[in-house]
A and B are shown apart, each in its own frame.
Chain A
Amino acid sequence: MEADRLIIAHGRVVDPSQGIDRVTNLLVERGRIAALDVPLMDDVPRLDATDRIVAPGLIDMHVELSEPGREEDETIRSGTAAALAGGFTTVACLPNSDPPIDTRASVEFVQHQAARAGNCRVVVMACVSRGREGKQLAEIGSLVAAGAVGFTDADAPIASTELMRRALEYCLMFDRPVMNHPEVPELSRGGIMHEGLVSTVLGLAAMPAEAEDVMTSRDLRLAEATGGRVHLMNISTAGSVDQIRRAKSRGIRVTAEVCPQNLALTDECLRSFDSSYKLNPPLRSREHVDACIAGLVDGTIDVIASGHAPRAGEKKMQELDQAPFGMVSLETALALAIHCLVRPEHLTWLELIDKMSTQPARVLGLDQQGTLRIGVPADITIIDPHHEWVVQPAQFRSQSRNTPLAGMTLTGRAQHVLIDGQVKWQSS
Chain B
Amino acid sequence: MLVRVAVGKGTELAMNTPAADFSRAPADWTRGDLLDLEGLSAAEIERVLDTAQALYDATGGCRDKLSLLSGVTCANLFFENSTRTRTSFSLAARRLGADTVEFTSSGSSLSKGETFIDTAKNIEAMNVDAVVVRHATPGTPHLLAQNLGCAVINAGDGAHEHPTQGLLDILTIRQHRGRIAGLTVALVGDIAHSRTARSNIWGLKKLGAHVIVCGPSTLVSRRWEQLGVEVTHNLDDILPRCDVLNLLRIQFERQATRPFPSVHEYALLYGMNRQRVARAKDDILITAPGPINRGVEITADVADGPHSVILDQVTNGIAVRMAVLWLLMGVRRRGT
| Interface residue ranges, A against B (CB under 8 Å) | 189-190, 196-197, 200-205, 272-273, 314, 317-322
Q: How far is the CB of B258 from chain A (nearest CB, A)?
A: 14
CA separation between A13 and B226, bound complex, in Å?
A: 49
CA separation between A314 and B109, bound complex, in Å?
A: 13
| B:244-260 near A, CB below 8 Å | 256
Which residue of B115, B143, B160, B223 contacts A204 across the interface (Cβ within 8 Å)? Answer: B160
In the complex, whether B15 has a CB less than 8 A from a CB of chain A is: no
In the complex, whether B149 has a CB less than 8 A from a CB of chain A is: no
Whether A314 pairs with B115 at a CB distance below 8 angstroms is yes
Q: Which chain A residues lie closer than 8 Å to B86 at the CB level?
A: none
Q: Which chain A residues lie closer than 8 Å to B136 at the CB level?
A: 321
Whether B137 pairs with A321 at a CB distance below 8 angstroms is yes
Which residue of B143, B195, B224 contacts A273 across the interface (Cβ within 8 Å)? Answer: B143
CA separation between A251 and B193, bound complex, in Å?
A: 45
Q: Report the nearest B residue to A189, measured CB to CB.
A: B256
CA separation between A403 and B186, bound complex, in Å?
A: 42
Mask, B185-200, CB within 8 Å of A = 1, is: 0000000110100100
Known contacts A200-B223, A202-B160, A203-B159; A318/B138 CB under 8 A: no
Whether A322 pairs with B256 at a CB distance below 8 angstroms is no
CA separation between A273 and B137, bound complex, in Å?
A: 10
Known contacts A203-B159, A273-B142; A318/B224 CB under 8 A: no
In the complex, whether B71 has a CB less than 8 A from a CB of chain A is: no
Whether A322 pairs with B223 at a CB distance below 8 angstroms is no
Q: How far is the CB of B250 from chain A (nearest CB, A)?
A: 16
Whether B160 pairs with A203 at a CB distance below 8 angstroms is yes
Chain A interface, DSSP helix/strand/loop, else mixed: loop
Q: How far is the CB of A226 from chain B (nearest CB, A)?
A: 33
Q: Which chain B residues lie closer than 8 Å to A205 at the CB level?
A: 256
Q: Which chain A residues lie closer than 8 Å to B108 at the CB level?
A: 318-319, 322
In the complex, whether B10 has a CB less than 8 A from a CB of chain A is: no
Whether B137 pairs with A201 at a CB distance below 8 angstroms is no
User: Total A-B residue pairs with C-beta atoms closer than 8 Å?
Assistant: 64
Which residue of A197, A203, A317, A321 contacts B161 across the interface (Cβ within 8 Å)? Answer: A203
Q: Which chain A residues lie closer than 8 Å to B161 at the CB level?
A: 203
Whether B140 pairs with A319 at a CB distance below 8 angstroms is yes
Q: Report the nearest A residue to B35, measured CB to CB.
A: A273
Whether B256 pairs with A190 at a CB distance below 8 angstroms is yes
Whether B198 pairs with A203 at a CB distance below 8 angstroms is yes
Q: Which chain B residues lie closer than 8 Å to A197 at the CB level?
A: 223, 226-227
Whether B195 pairs with A203 at a CB distance below 8 angstroms is yes
| Interface residue ranges, B against A (CB under 8 Å) | 38, 108, 110, 115-117, 135-140, 142-143, 157-161, 192-193, 195, 198, 221, 223-224, 226-227, 256
Whether B223 pairs with A320 at a CB distance below 8 angstroms is no
Q: Which chain B residues lie closer than 8 Å to A190 at the CB level?
A: 256
Q: Apart from A201-B227, A204-B158, A322-B110, what are 13 other A-B pairs with CB-CB below 8 Å? A: A197-B227, A200-B224, A202-B138, A203-B193, A204-B138, A204-B139, A205-B256, A273-B138, A273-B139, A318-B115, A318-B116, A319-B137, A322-B137
- Counting chain A CB atoms within 10 Å of each CB, the highest count among B38, B117, B158, B195 belongs to B158
Q: How far is the CB of B202 from chain A (nearest CB, A)?
A: 9
- Counting chain B CB atoms within 10 Å of each CB, the highest count among A196, A200, A319 belongs to A319
Q: Which chain B residues lie closer than 8 Å to A196 at the CB level?
A: 223
Residue contacts A-B, CB under 8 angstroms, 15 given? A189-B256, A196-B223, A197-B226, A200-B221, A200-B224, A202-B139, A203-B138, A203-B160, A204-B138, A318-B108, A318-B115, A319-B139, A320-B137, A320-B138, A320-B139
Q: How far is the CB of B16 from chain A (nearest CB, A)?
A: 41
Q: How far is the CB of A320 from chain B (nearest CB, A)?
A: 5
Whether A319 pairs with B116 at a CB distance below 8 angstroms is yes
CA separation between A322 and B161, bound complex, in Å?
A: 19
CA separation between A272 and B39, bound complex, in Å?
A: 12
- Counting chain A CB atoms within 10 Å of each CB, the highest count among B117, B143, B161 belongs to B143
CA separation between A190 and B140, bound complex, in Å?
A: 16
Closest 8 CB pairs of A and B: A273-B139, A203-B159, A203-B160, A319-B137, A200-B223, A273-B142, A321-B137, A197-B223
CA separation between A314 and B119, bound complex, in Å?
A: 13
Which residue of A200, A201, A202, A320 contacts B140 across the interface (Cβ within 8 Å)? Answer: A320
Q: Which chain B residues lie closer than 8 Å to A321 at the CB level?
A: 136-137
CA separation between A306 and B7, bound complex, in Å?
A: 53
Known contacts A200-B224, A322-B108, A322-B137; A317/B117 CB under 8 A: yes
Q: Report the nearest B residue to A316, measured CB to CB.
A: B115
CA separation between A190 and B110, bound complex, in Å?
A: 17
Q: How far is the CB of A375 from chain B (nearest CB, A)?
A: 54
- Counting chain A CB atoms within 10 Å of each CB, the highest count among B138, B157, B193, B227 belongs to B138
CA separation between A218 and B140, bound complex, in Å?
A: 37
Which residue of B110, B192, B256 contacts A318 across the interface (Cβ within 8 Å)? Answer: B110
CA separation between A189 and B257, bound complex, in Å?
A: 11
